Chain A
Amino acid sequence: MKSIVRILARLYPASWRARYGAEFDALLEDVQPSTRQALDVFLGAMSMQMTTWNFGKIIIASAVAGLALASIGAFLKPAEYVSSTPIAIEASPAAAQSVIDNLPGSLSREELGHISQLNNLYPGERGHESTDELVTKMEKAIVIQVDHPKPFDYPGVPWSGLTFFTIHFKYSDPKIAQQVDGQLVGLLVSKNLEAQEAAPGGPPVRIHVLDSPTFPVKPTGPGSVLLTASGAIAGALLGLLIATMLRLSRTRSAKAG
């Protein structure tokens, strides 16, 4: 660690090292080397570099730092695939809306836990997270979206009196995403049948599964190129802000002096 701290001390500007280098090295010989010390020396060096850099250099350096961080983020970000199943509800608009509104609550945590276990979802987290936490994670991966398709999207489907929506499931593996989405739809259909049988006098609600769950070929979210470019732009903007603040601070110091 001592040698790392010594190397980091070389990151200070040459003019600063010419004045303080010897005594700073002497201090580093005395202090207990640690990760905190190394980080402190690194930040000190960067801060001192900034005081000697001009406007353009700060912006370029920040853009490069943003680009590097975003590239690492893009590389580490796990891919997510979304499988979708289009569904139509045949019922009065009010009854259909009520089904959609109650959908998230109609799938019990026990049932979701069972599906999670059946498909061995989130194997990396299984060791250190409780079933409850895994189910919460699963709930967040389920998205219910009301659709307004055009008649030619589903030829052969009787059009009038139908309310359309889609059940999406997001997961890191496309095959499992498709499998789970299908199981969620199956669960929904069977729950609706049970509800109809339990209350035969209630308003008739029929659920039509319009298509099988999609197999997601491409992951969702911004691609690596877009992420990296965004990082570079964000870095440049941050650099612009830092450079402006430094310029203001230097102007103020010069006036005060």
Chain B
Amino acid sequence: MKKCLTPNLLRHTVYYVNSNSYLSPPLLVLSSLAEGDKHGYAMMDDIEHFAGVRLGAGTLYGAITRLEQHGWIRPIDSQDRRQPYTITGAGREYLRDQLGELERLVRTGQRRLKHT
């Protein structure tokens, strides 16, 4: 049976971001917001669902702070105390770049594995 690339890519991506403490939480947050606007708690749930990692509140807001400083996410109007965020165009571009690099890494690794 031919193995599908997507689950492998996701698994390798999660491994990569987990082992890279600087990149991981911001990338996870961007990946979560790429699907739609969310507030902090919804991001935590979503990230846990797709990556199997439950971010702590301190880690999540550390990532949110950095991403907002870079202009990759921004808060959106809300009447609730829970502040929702949205990914910006620059944020999508950054996420696309990062995932592209990961994809290249995964493909190279898999290609080499096939030859051994």
Contact = CB atoms under 8 A, between A and B. Distances in A.
Contacts, number: 61
A45 B56 CA distance: 12
A153 interface: no
A40 B65 contact: no
A157 interface: no
Interface of B: 39-41, 44, 56-62, 64-65, 70, 80-83
Given A16-B65, A44-B62, 15 more contacts: A5-B57, A20-B65, A23-B39, A23-B40, A24-B57, A25-B81, A26-B40, A26-B80, A26-B81, A27-B39, A27-B41, A28-B57, A40-B56, A44-B57, A47-B62
B12 to A, nearest CB: 26
Interface residues of A, number: 24
Given A16-B65, A26-B82, A44 B58 contact: yes
A42 to B, nearest CB: 7
25 contacts: A16-B65, A20-B61, A22-B81, A23-B82, A23-B83, A24-B40, A24-B57, A27-B39, A27-B41, A27-B57, A27-B60, A27-B61, A30-B41, A31-B41, A31-B57, A36-B56, A37-B56, A39-B56, A40-B58, A40-B59, A41-B58, A44-B57, A44-B59, A47-B62, A48-B65
A33 B82 CA distance: 17
A1 to B, nearest CB: 13
Interface of A: 5, 16, 20, 22-28, 30-31, 36-37, 39-45, 47-48, 257
